[in-house]
Structure 1
Amino acid sequence: MTKRIALATSAELAELHPDDRPLLEALRAEGLDPVVEVWTDPSVDWSAYDAVLLRTVWDYFVRYDEFTEWLAQLDKAEVPLLNSTDQVRWNSDKQYLLELRERGVAIVPSQVAAGACLREVVAGLNGQQIVVKPTVSGNALHTVRGAAGSPELEQALAELPDLVYLVQPFIPEIQSEGEWSLLFFDGEFSHAVVKRPANGDYRVQESYGGQTALTQPPAAVLESARAALEASGPTPVYARVDGVVVNDRFLLMEIELIEPYLFFPQSPAAIQKLAKAVATRL
Structure 2
Amino acid sequence: MTKRIALATSAAHPELHEHDLPLVDALRATGLDPVAEVWTDPSVDWSAYDAILLRSVWDYHVRYDEFTEWLSQVDKAGVPVFNDSGLVRWNGDKQYLVEIRERGVAIVPSQIAAGACLREVVAGLDGQEIVIKPTVGAAALHTVRGVAGSDELSRAMDDLPDTVYLVQPFLSEILTDGEWSLMFIDGEFTHAVVKRPAAGDYRVQVMFGGEATVTDPSPAVLESARTALAAAGSPPLYARVDGVVVNGRFLLMELELIEPYLFLPEFPEATEKLAAAVAKRV
Query: Which residue type is aligned with residue 34 of structure 1?
Result: P
For structure 1, list consecutive stretches of 5 or more residues without a partner in the other structure.
none
Q: How many residues align?
A: 282
Per the alignment, residue 182 of structure 2 pairs with 182
1:280 maps to which residue? Answer: 280
Q: Partners of 1:64 and 1:231 in 2: how far apart?
A: 24
CA distance in 2, matches of 1:230, 1:278: 20
Q: What's the offset of the Cα at 1:259?
A: 1.0
Tell me the distance in 2 between the aligned counterparts of 1:125 and 1:158.
18
Residues in 1 aligned to 2:24 and 2:190: alpha-carbon distance in whole angstroms? 19
SS at match of 2:262: coil
* Equivalence for 1:222: 222
Corresponding residue SS for 1:11: coil
Aligned partners of 1:235 and 1:262: how far apart in 2? 16
Q: State the superposition RMSD in angstroms.
A: 0.5
Counterpart CA distance in 2 for 1:185 and 1:210 is 24
1:46 — aligned with what? 46
* Corresponding position of 1:153: 153
Aligned sequence identity (%): 73
| 1:19 aligned partner | 19
Tell me the CA shift for residue 31 of structure 1: 1.0
Structure 1-normalised TM-score?
0.99
Q: Which amino acid aligns with 2:115?
A: G
Counterpart in 1 of 2:3?
Answer: 3
Between the aligned partners of 1:140 and 1:68, the Cα distance in structure 2 is 21
Query: What is the aligned partner in structure 2 of residue 80 from structure 1?
Result: 80
Alignment of 1:156-175 (within 5 A): 156-175=156-175
Task: Name the CA distance, whole Å, in 2 between partners of 1:64 and 1:204.
Answer: 24
The offset of 1:265, in angstroms, is: 1.3
Separation in structure 2 between the aligned mates of residue 71 and residue 265 of structure 1, nearest angstrom = 28
Q: Secondary structure at the match of 1:67?
A: helix
Measure the CA separation in 1 of the matches of 2:24 and 2:159: 42
CA distance in 2 between counterparts of 1:76 and 1:161 reads 33
**Quick one: distance in 2 between partners of 1:17 and 1:193?**
20
Aligned-pair CA distance for 1:87: 0.4
Distance between the aligned counterparts of 1:28 and 1:57, measured in 2? Answer: 21
1:224-268 deviations in Å (ceiling 9; x for gaps)? 001100011121000000000000000000010001001011100
Q: CA deviation at 1:50?
A: 0.3
SS of corresponding position for 2:125: coil
Partner of 1:238: 238
Tell me the distance in 2 between the aligned counterparts of 1:6 and 1:116. 42
